[in-house]
A = this chain, B = another copy of it.
Amino acid sequence: MERIINKTRVIGVDISVERTTIAIVDIRGHIVASGDFKTLDYLNIDDFISKLSKELIILIDENGGFGSIRSVGISAPSANFRTGCIENAPNMPWKGIIPMAAMLRDRLGLAVAITNDSKAIAMGEYTFGSAHGMRDFAIITIGHGLGCGYYSHGKLCNGHSGLSGEVGHSCVVPDGRKCECGLEGCLETYVAEKGIIKTAKEMMAESSEPSIMRNIVDSITPKIIVECCEKGDKMAIDVYNKTGHILGLALANFASIVDPEAIIITGGIAHAGHWLFDPLCESFDQHIFHNMKGNVKILESTLNGRERDVLGASVLAWNVKEYSLFK
């Protein structure tokens, strides 16, 4: 019998609207090599798959070859590991059901698993990040939308249909803001990017209080609102106070169900730092069930964004036997 050496590397692929990032990652979570390209340059899915495979083949050939690669993990919005597909992703260029895992497997001849971006991030945080050593925790990603991945007993909770963690579409304000998903009052419409901008614009419209945000109404972003907070702008601070208050209430509701050791907040909106976290933690404490008070940590992720996304996908790749449809 030939001497077989276990393959010690995997491929992590993170597909987001702005950018597709690829990386070769080793067992200890070191990124051996990586690259990226703009997702929206490939509006046709076949063109995208051709570009992705080409970039992966070059990366692999230049860094040890296919003989060292065990499998591929993909993280993407609205991806479902139970079907291997990206399903009706509202912000992605490819509509309907995209069998991404099967398409990439056919091009590369490697086992491929796919899951949604928040679940992949949870896997990354569990293995290499803030959740290392925890058995029961959740991650909340806040950017364009609000996503969630959570663990119970050291195992990712996928749900019956692979769709668990849609906290962003739980109703926090009955008959509240209209969400792109068709529902009303979804958490995401208050605390994700567009929601925060909407809150700022509503506050400016409803009051005559002076604010430096008024000079930049049309170009306002959550990041600019943070800059206004730093300058002491009261209304900008109130925007994050309201955002944190609603998020704290929603996370208290979430925690009352899941009872996590920690909720790790990540994504662009987490960069608001204490402007968001102070009112968030105050509201969380105010709304959490008394028996759990003081039991749940609210943490910021210790992984940075780019690293975080491909690391999560790489952990999925190591679990390909469980998560791929193609054993």
- Which A residues form the contact surface with B (CB < 8 A)? 78, 87-88, 134-137, 148, 152-153, 155, 157-167, 169-174, 181-183, 249, 252-254, 256-261, 287, 289-292, 295-296
Contacts and interface: CB of A to CB of B under 8 A. Distances in A.
A256 B153 contact: no
A257 B257 contact: yes
A256 B167 contact: yes
A161 B258 CA distance: 10
A289 B170 CA distance: 8
Main secondary structure of the interface of A (DSSP, over half): loop
B166 A256 contact: yes
Contacts of A254: 257
Contacts of A164: 152, 257-259
Nearest to A176: B174
Number of copies of chain A assembled together: 2
B148 A257 contact: yes
Given A287-B183, A289-B183, A160 B261 contact: yes
Contacts of A259: 158-166
A167, A182, A183, A259 — most chain B CB neighbours (10 Å): A259
A30 to B, nearest CB: 30
Q: Which 9 A-B pairs have the closest CB atoms?
A: A159-B259, A164-B259, A170-B253, A160-B261, A136-B160, A166-B256, A152-B157, A169-B289, A163-B259
Contacts of A295: 160-161, 163
A290 B172 CA distance: 17
Nearest to A261: B160
14 contacts: A136-B158, A136-B159, A153-B158, A157-B258, A159-B259, A161-B292, A163-B259, A163-B289, A163-B292, A165-B259, A166-B289, A166-B292, A169-B289, A170-B253
